[in-house]
């Protein structure tokens, strides 16, 4: 008797123009652990494994190792297996954030964690500054952008 197994799929990531996939499988020589579906007509280029290996494999492997070493700088990833870190890299995105950007607001639920590569940001909460006059506000340890927002 033939037994058919049914699967339900959950979207893990959506790829669009200027995205690539498959490089982790080429580098690690592991099979895909997910299924890809074409959800609308797509035009893309395929780079063969031989061409990829000949042209850019070394630089990509070096970049991969650098990104894994970046993860290892954080206590929560120091004992994580290499394969798991590769999976995390595949699901992470490098963000470039300009000064003044709000990453999340008070009361908002977290959608992920942020690992700071360079630069800094602060976590703030409202402070009662109603008693400060204009002179004291200038001397307060408040970011200039926050001061502008306070004046609005």
Residue 144 belongs to a domain: no
Q: What is the pLDDT of residue 152?
A: 47
Q: What is the pLDDT of residue 67?
A: 86
Q: What is the pLDDT of residue 139?
A: 62
List the domain range (segments joined by +) for residue 87: 11-121
Residue 104 belongs to a domain: yes
Give the total number of structural domains in the chain: 1
Residue 101 belongs to a domain: yes
Residue 86 belongs to a domain: yes
Residue 114 belongs to a domain: yes
Could you tell me the mean pLDDT of each successive run of 10 residues in the chain, 152 residues long?
Answer: 66 83 78 84 88 78 85 90 84 85 84 87 73 61 55 48
Q: Are 70 and 117 in contact (CB under 8 A)?
A: yes
């Amino acid at each position: 008797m033939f037994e058919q197994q049914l699967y339900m799929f959950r979207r893990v990531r959506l790829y669009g123009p200027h995205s690539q996939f498959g490089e982790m499988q080429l580098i690690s020589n592991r099979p895909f652990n997910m299924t890809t579906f074409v959800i609308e007509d797509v035009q893309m280029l395929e780079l063969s494994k031989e061409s990829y290996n000949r042209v850019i494999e070394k630089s990509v492997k070096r970049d991969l190792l650098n990104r894994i070493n970046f993860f290892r700088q954080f206590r929560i990833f120091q004992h994580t297996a290499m394969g798991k870190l590769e999976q995390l890299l595949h699901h992470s995105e490098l963000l470039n954030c300009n000064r003044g950007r709000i990453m999340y607001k008070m009361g908002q639920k977290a959608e992920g964690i942020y690992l700071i590569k360079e630069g800094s940001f602060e976590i703030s909460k409202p402070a009662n500054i109603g008693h400060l006059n204009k002179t004291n506000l200038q001397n307060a340890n408040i970011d200039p952008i926050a001061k502008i927002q306070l004046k609005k």
